[in-house]
Amino acid sequence: MIYNNITKNIYSDEWYTSRATVESMLDIFPCNPQDAVLCPFDSEKSQFVKVLQERGHKVIYGIRDFLEREREPYSFDCIYTNPPFSIKTDVIERCIATGKKCTLVLPLNSLGGVKRHAQYKKTNLFVYVPTRRIAFYDEQGIKRKGASFHSIFLQVNAGRN
């Protein structure tokens, strides 16, 4: 049996983001050129890490205990990532708690839910809905069959402009 590295689920909800999606996300919700960017669920193979580094950012990645930390032991200015969907509510809550600008790729239905609505009241919320469904990839870089859901780019901005 194979378990997901982050969520310890039997199934894999690690859907990797394409370079085109990351570039689009950064064009719509850019970060400042000098910003240090946290990509907590990403590895050195992640398109988030690669594109952000190519754009000159210091990128912190591979954080396996992101949800358990009360404070981060390193300095960062913003977060960009595609978190495992099965823990999206916890990730949104943790992102808001950091007090930093956080931009996430999430399923469209992430906008709903009683707990998430309570979280969203604590922050400024910006949403972009891509025209088409996003193509995701598996761990081997093979394009998954079409996503059965629409995705959004969600930015939570805890008082930062």
CA distance linking residue 30 with residue 78, whole number of Å: 10
CB-based burial, 52-77: b 16+ in 10 Å, e otherwise: beeeebebbbebeebbeeeeeeeebb
In terms of Cα–Cα distance, which of 65, 67, 66, 31 is closest to 51? 31
148 strand-pairing partners: none
Task: Kindly state the tokens that stand for 10.
Answer: 């039997």
Q: Tens place of pLDDT for every residue, the chain, 161 residues?
A: 333 455 454 445 566 788 889 999 999 999 998 999 999 989 898 899 999 999 999 999 988 788 887 766 778 999 999 988 888 899 999 999 888 999 999 988 888 889 888 888 888 889 988 887 777 666 666 665 656 677 889 999 865 44
CA distance linking residue 95 with residue 58, whole number of Å: 19
- Please tell me the pTM assigned to this model: 0.81
